[in-house]
Chain A
Amino acid sequence: MSFRLEARADASIALKLLVSLGAGLAALLLVAIPVLFAGGSPFTAYGLIIQGAFGSMFALSETLNRATPLILTGLAAAVAFRARLWNIGAEGQLYIGALSAVLVGSGLLQMPPMLLIPTVMIAGFVAGGLMMIIPTLLKQRFGADEVVITLLLNFVVILLVQMLVEGPLKDPLSMGWPQSVPLLAEAKFDKLVPRLRMHWGLVVGVAAAILLWVLVRKTVLGFEIKAVGENRAAARFAGIPVDATMLKVALISGGLAGLAGVSEVAGVKGYLSADLSPGFGYSGIVVAMLAGLSPVGTVFAAVFVAAVFVGADSMSRATGISNYLADLVVALSLLCVLIGGFFLRFRIRYERAAAPAAGA
């Protein structure tokens, strides 16, 4: 008996959901190993994670607060990966977006909130977008690989932010802490519910997901992104402006990551510091992959990843198991969903007769 792989034309929604669920379950099963290794009970740990993420209004607010930047960085990765533009630089773009928010919104412009908030958001979006346009242009003009350049730029940007918050942007009233001058009150996002941390950034994220869904499904640019992502040479042959499309994708992708930075500054911290993001840019890649690059799915995947992080913190406080367990869950989910993608692309056919000898 032998088996061969047969490419699927298209996977049904049911199969996609099944594979996502299977991947999630597989990740949870695998994570039981390190939990046991750390001397804990997997069921207790999972219970505490779920309780810590959703068990109260406060927990839910923390989870949604954490999901907000992940929705935006997840969308950033999703739109770029759809066009096969490998933007691994969302972390740096997030910081550049946050930096622009502080530059524009901490006293340079005096406006009512109705004007200042959109201005700050546009500044962050454009700055993040430019940050991704640079490596895209380097790719187009010089053939330089965008993966490595976006990765390396992350380190450059974080050092730049460190330099600025210890130097010219440093808040004189921060008691020596390396943090920037605060954002004006007029530039800050309101809380969604009084006394809870979740804020209007969540609405921005969900709105961005819906807009991106419309863009991908209903517009010419969406069609061009699909064509460029599936086969760049064929797209060029068919007369699609490949380079221009890639630049638009770069602007949108980097811009969304920049918005994540604006949202963290305007909605949570109120100032810029070099520890603004605990890797939201990198987690965004996982979010996008978990969502199968679907914009609406990104919202749910972001809530899942955020819940794992928030829940693991609370689990860690209760059991003493390291909260790096959250990073493990997220990494394993990514790998499981990647393997799941194999079953979406291929169907495995078993055959009784020996396969033809060609190539065997």
Chain B
Amino acid sequence: MDVLLDIFGSANFWAAAIRIATPLIFGVLGALICERAGVLNLGIEGIFVAGAMAGWLAVYLGAGLWGGVLVALATGATFGLLHAVLAVILGLSQHVSGIGITLLATSLSYFTYRTALPTVTSPPRIVPFQPVSIPGLSDLPFFGPALFQQTPLTFLALAFVALVAFVLYRTPLGLAIRAVGDNPASVEAQGLSVRGLRIGAVVAGSALMALGGAFLTMSAFDAFFFGMVNGRGWICIALVVFASWQPGKALLGALLFGAFDAFQIRLQAEIGQVVPGQVFLMLPYLLSIVALVLVARRADYPRALLQPWFKGQRH
């Protein structure tokens, strides 16, 4: 019991939970935007890798941290556009296209890294984003270090949760995006372009996914490693279902996941001698599976998810 109290009572733990949640917040929001518009984007895992590599490489080559963020966004948007061409314009299998994008984005990132840095033996480092202080809040006892001493990308992720929620539920654009994933015929009847909305959503969502990757190389760590994304993208796809495609619940899901991951790391430090480390490493994946199975029955999938749309199509 003392162990648990020690863990949950430390500001350090909550700070770590939010840090671990940050890339997932970007990823879940990105996947949510795509799926709300009716497009599953399994390119997410590769887009994470590409965002991580491209953002980091831009900073390494002197673009500055925010320059790196822009490069990551543009990289994600480009792969999103490719997925949109295949899945929306040509109406091809969203599953296969997404897997193809993941393979392409991953291999292109690894190839570019090796080609740009042919001789390095240990990964070169950059100076990553540093935690910023918010006057007043960061100095609060416990809550300051627990919640308000994060890097700018974490605050950006939280801002995006609010922005995505606002756009989806409070603007005509959001209404159109939600409708295009539920009942595209109604959108077309209003004279809006189903495909245009879907393409826009996939591009925007993919750009956000890439930020999730960029957080890894530019904020959580200071270098790019092969295999560093390690299934985070797939976890986001599970978390979207868990979050019922709602931004607020997506934030909650990502934070719960982050807290769980931070907890298992600390638990491992306490009882790691008794239980092999891999058991702890498995937990996040198993947790995602359990979460998915528990909510699946009442999951309210966007009704037109996975269904391509051809202009003038009639049911």
Using a CB–CB distance below 8 Å, which chain A residues touch chain B? 5, 34, 37-38, 86, 88, 138, 142-145, 147-149, 151-156, 159-160, 162-163, 166-167, 282, 285-286, 289, 320-322, 324-325, 327-328, 330-332, 334-335, 338-339, 341-342, 355, 358-360
Contacts and interface: CB of A to CB of B under 8 A. Distances in A.
Contacts of A324: 107, 110-111, 114
From B107, B108, B235, residue with most partner A Cβ within 10 Å:
B107
Contact of B103 (A322, A325, A327): A327
A147 B92 CA distance: 17
Interface string B31-51: 000000000001000000000
Given A282-B103, A328-B108, A338-B97, A144 B313 contact: no
Interface in B79-114: 82, 86, 90-93, 95-97, 99-101, 103-104, 106-108, 110-111, 114
Contact of A34 (B90, B108, B238, B282): B108
Contacts, number: 141
A335 B104 contact: yes
Contacts of B234: 148, 151-152
A338 B96 contact: yes
23 contacts: A37-B115, A88-B99, A143-B296, A144-B292, A144-B296, A147-B42, A148-B292, A149-B292, A155-B285, A156-B286, A159-B285, A160-B278, A282-B99, A286-B103, A321-B115, A324-B111, A328-B108, A331-B104, A331-B106, A334-B96, A335-B100, A335-B104, A359-B313
B241 to A, nearest CB: 7
A359 B296 contact: no
B170 interface: no
A167 B276 contact: yes
Contacts of A142: 293, 296-297
Interface string B254-285: 00000000000000000000001011011001
Contacts of A153: 285, 289
A330 to B, nearest CB: 7
Nearest to A328: B107
Contact of B106 (A138, A155, A327, A359): A327
Contacts of B192: none
- Give the 7 A-B CB pairs with smallest separation, nearest first: A359-B312, A327-B107, A322-B114, A331-B103, A163-B278, A331-B104, A144-B296
B282 A159 contact: yes
Interface residues of B, number: 50
B155 interface: no
A233 B208 CA distance: 36
Contacts of B311: 359-360
A323 to B, nearest CB: 9
Interface of B: 42, 82, 86, 90-93, 95-97, 99-101, 103-104, 106-108, 110-111, 114-115, 118, 188, 230-231, 234-235, 237-238, 241, 276, 278-279, 281-282, 285-286, 288-289, 292-293, 296-297, 299, 310-314
Contacts of B235: 152
Contacts of B90: 339, 342
A279 to B, nearest CB: 9
A339 to B, nearest CB: 7
A111 B9 CA distance: 58
Contact of B99 (A327, A334, A355): A334
B209 to A, nearest CB: 15
Given A145-B296, A163-B278, A334 B286 contact: no
A335 B234 CA distance: 20
B149 to A, nearest CB: 31
Contacts of B82: 335
A167 B313 CA distance: 59
Nearest to A39: B115
A20 B310 CA distance: 25
Nearest to B108: A328
A322 B115 contact: yes
